[in-house]
C-alpha cells in the first residue's frame, strides 16, 4: 500500500512539474528532467531497439535531443501522460530527421530501418523509417486518433490501458483502432515496398 501511495505522489508531482514546464517555467524543467530521465531513456531504447544496424543514435543522445527540443517550445502539457505522448511524438520526429539526414548524406545509401513485428505482414519484416513516417502521416490525415494510438503503443511503449486513457477512449475502442492500424499500415507498407 505504501508503495502505491509513493507512486501516486510521484505521478502527481510529475504532472504538476510538466504543467509548469509547459508554461515556460525553466526551473520546473530542471527539477522534472532527473525524475523522468529513466522513463525517457526507456522510451528511447524502445524506439531504437527496432532501428537497423546502421543506427548511430544512442538512447541517451535521443533523450538529450528531446530535452533540447522541448526546452525551446512552450506546450500546454495537460498531465504526465500528455507529456509522454508529446515526448513520443517528438522522439519519432527526431529519429525521422536523423534518418533523413543520414539518407541525404549517403545519397541513397541504407536507410534507418524500423521493425514493426505486430504490424508487419510477415512476422519480423523490417520497414524503412522514412516509409513508416510517410504511412503514419497519411494515417494521421485519415484518422488522427488511430495514428496517435500507434505512436503511444508502439513508439512510447504505453500499455493498452494507458493509451486508452491518454486518448480518452475505451480499451475496446483502442483495440479496434489497433486492428485497423495493423491492417492499414501493412497494406501501405506492402504497397510502398512493391513500388520501390
Q: Are 73 and 86 in contact (CB under 8 A)?
A: no
Task: Per residue of the chain (196 residues), give pLDDT as tens.
Answer: 444 444 444 788 888 888 888 888 878 888 888 888 888 998 888 877 766 556 667 888 888 888 888 877 778 888 888 888 888 888 888 888 877 776 665 544 443 444 444 444 333 333 456 777 788 888 888 889 999 898 888 777 778 888 898 889 999 999 999 888 888 887 777 766 556 5
Q: Which contiguous run of DSSP H or E holds residue 127?
A: strand 126-128
Q: How far apart are CA 77 and CA 96, in angstroms?
A: 23
The residue extents of the domains of the chain are 2-195
pLDDT of 51 reads: 63
Residues 98, 187: Cα–Cα separation, whole Å: 26
CA contacts within 13 A on the Cβ side of 33: 14
Name the phi and psi angles at 115, rounded to 5. Answer: -100, 120
Instruction: For residue 1, give Cα distances in angstroms to 4, 9, 12, 142, 153.
Output: 5, 13, 17, 44, 28
Taken as a whole, the chain contains a residue count of 196
Amino acid at each position: 500500500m505504501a508503495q502505491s501511495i509513493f507512486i501516486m505522489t510521484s505521478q502527481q508531482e510529475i504532472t504538476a512539474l510538466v504543467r509548469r514546464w509547459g508554461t515556460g517555467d525553466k526551473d520546473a524543467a530542471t527539477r522534472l528532467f532527473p525524475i523522468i530521465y529513466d522513463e525517457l531513456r526507456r522510451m528511447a531504447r524502445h524506439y531504437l531497439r527496432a532501428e537497423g544496424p546502421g543506427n548511430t543514435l544512442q538512447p541517451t543522445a535521443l533523450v538529450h535531443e528531446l530535452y533540447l527540443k522541448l526546452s525551446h517550445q512552450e506546450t500546454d502539457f495537460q498531465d504526465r501522460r500528455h507529456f509522454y505522448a508529446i515526448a513520443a511524438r517528438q522522439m519519432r520526429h527526431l529519429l525521422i530527421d536523423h534518418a533523413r539526414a543520414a539518407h541525404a548524406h549517403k545519397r541513397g545509401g541504407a536507410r534507418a530501418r524500423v521493425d514493426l513485428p505486430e504490424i508487419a505482414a510477415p512476422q519480423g519484416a523490417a520497414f524503412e523509417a522514412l516509409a513508416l513516417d510517410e504511412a503514419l502521416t497519411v494515417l494521421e490525415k485519415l484518422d488522427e486518433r488511430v495514428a496517435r494510438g500507434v505512436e503511444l503503443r508502439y513508439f512510447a511503449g504505453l500499455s493498452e490501458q494507458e493509451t486508452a486513457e491518454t486518448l480518452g477512449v475505451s480499451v475496446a475502442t483502442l483495440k479496434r483502432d489497433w486492428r485497423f492500424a495493423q491492417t492499414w499500415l501493412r497494406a501501405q507498407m506492402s504497397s510502398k515496398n512493391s513500388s520501390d
